Amino acid sequence: MESNFGASALYTVGVEEEFQLVDPASLALVPAIDEVLAARDSAGLPVASELLASFLETRSPVYGTVANLATELPGLRRRVGEVVAGCGARLAAAGTHPFSDSLAQEITPQERYLKVEEEMGWTARMQAIYGLHVHVAVPDEESAIRAVAALSQCVPLFIALSANSPFWAGIDTRLSSVRAKVFELVPRSGLPPFFRSWEDFEGYVDAMVRAGSIPDYSWCWWDARPHPKLGTVELRAPDAQTEADYAVSLAALAQCIVAAADQYNPQDPLLTEENKWRAMRYGLEARFYDVSADQSITARDAAQQLVKELRPLSQDLGCEAELEGVLEILYKGNGADKQRAIFERRGSLRDVVAAYLVDATG
């Protein structure tokens, strides 16, 4: 297995953001990725396709600090939005589209995606979902295993903070992140297995490849995973964020957790799974089981406590202001809260797309 751990400076950060392509008039999803890809090279933008043709992914450069990411990300979104507008579409960000039918979306006609559809059938057609992926560089394989375990324990909190997909196919699901639940239809998704060592992880992947189940480790789509080709660990749990500063704050939190990974003790994954469900359902209003204290704690209190614990480390990493943005999410509400507030005031899912998902994306 190709490994590039240690090739980048320690704890450097990059993000991948998955965006919706929507029709300017109807505000429904539109399969415009071919037009966007044709225009990307002249614009010099790091834009890629994904499984669905109404889906666009951006890949940020690698940044030495999250503060640099905070400075550059809004401009990257703006430039991508201009290219998309020139192709007759609009850019929107959320975990799901509020009213477009997932099963009606076209598959991007590329070999990898056609293979995914062939392998997964109907479950692939359900994946009109959009996430934020945060990459943090680590020095070696064993550090990657520890960092994935630490991120895994924090997945419920990341989902509570990032929840931005309350609507699905025109209805309020009563979940804060239906995206997280829909993604669990996919094999090798959800919380990662607990690997005791790099050899455990490599042995699992090798066995799956020999069995013909996967071509390589990149078909393991867990909430957090090692990414040896890039030399990073990758957090995949958050919904796509409508507002760039929310994405930056989540990246700062992820970077700090990775840097503090040695301080995390193994936790019963069944308890983490229960906390994850509560986060998907209730968002910031969730109550978690706190293993260390053997008691219930609100998601808000858990976030405040974690930010306090990580504040000294964030100063060392140069991301203190960005980490404090987590507290702003608690104050302003996550994306699901904001979407529901607009729908409550206006009674229209089209207005949710227009007034928030498009306008606030960049």
Q: 165-183, pLDDT tens digit by residue?
A: 999 999 999 999 999 999 9
User: Which tokens go with 360?
Assistant: 């606030």
Q: What is the pLDDT of residues 207-237, one digit of tens each?
A: 999 999 999 999 999 999 999 999 999 999 9
Cβ atoms of 96 and 179 within 8 Å: the answer is: yes
Q: What is the pLDDT of residues 329-352, one digit of tens each?
A: 999 999 999 999 999 999 999 999
Cβ atoms of 45 and 98 within 8 Å: the answer is: no
Q: Domain locations in the chain?
A: 108-125+132-358
| Residue 3: Cβ within 10 Å count | 17
Long-range contacts of 186-189 (CB under 8 A, 24+ apart): 186/120, 186/123, 186/124, 186/127, 186/221, 187/120, 188/214, 188/219, 188/220, 188/221, 188/222, 189/221, 189/222, 189/223
**Structure-token match 């060392």, residue found:** 316
User: For position 41, what pLDDT does the model report?
Assistant: 81
> The pTM is what?
0.96
- Residues 6+ positions from 10 with CB-CB distance below 8 Å: 137, 138, 139
Whether pLDDT at 326 is above 80: yes
Pairing of strands 232-235, 132-137: antiparallel
287 vs 270: CA distance, rounded Å: 16
Whether pLDDT at 292 is above 80: no
Pairing of strands 47-49, 55-59: antiparallel
User: For position 333, what pLDDT does the model report?
Assistant: 98
| Residue 175: Cβ within 10 Å count | 22
12 vs 7: CA distance, rounded Å: 11
Whether pLDDT at 143 is above 80: yes
User: For position 42, what pLDDT does the model report?
Assistant: 79
User: For position 362, what pLDDT does the model report?
Assistant: 79
Fold of 108-125+132-358: Creatine Kinase; Chain A, domain 2 (3.30.590)
Whether pLDDT at 156 is above 90: yes
- Tell me how many degrees the CA angle 216-217-223 measures, rounded to the nearest 5: 150
Categorise residue 3: left if φ over 0, alpha if ψ from -120 to 50, beta otherwise.
Answer: beta
Q: What is the pLDDT of residues 27-83, one digit of tens each?
A: 999 999 999 999 988 778 899 998 899 999 999 999 999 999 999 999 999 999 999
User: For position 90, what pLDDT does the model report?
Assistant: 98
User: For position 219, what pLDDT does the model report?
Assistant: 94
Q: What is the pLDDT of residues 90-139, one digit of tens each?
A: 999 999 999 999 999 999 888 888 888 898 899 988 999 999 999 999 99
Q: Average pLDDT over the chain, rounded to whole? A: 95
Comparing 138-152, 180-194, 280-294, 308-322, the range with the smallest average pLDDT is 280-294
- Phi/psi for 360 (5° steps) reads -90, -5
126 vs 103: CA distance, rounded Å: 6
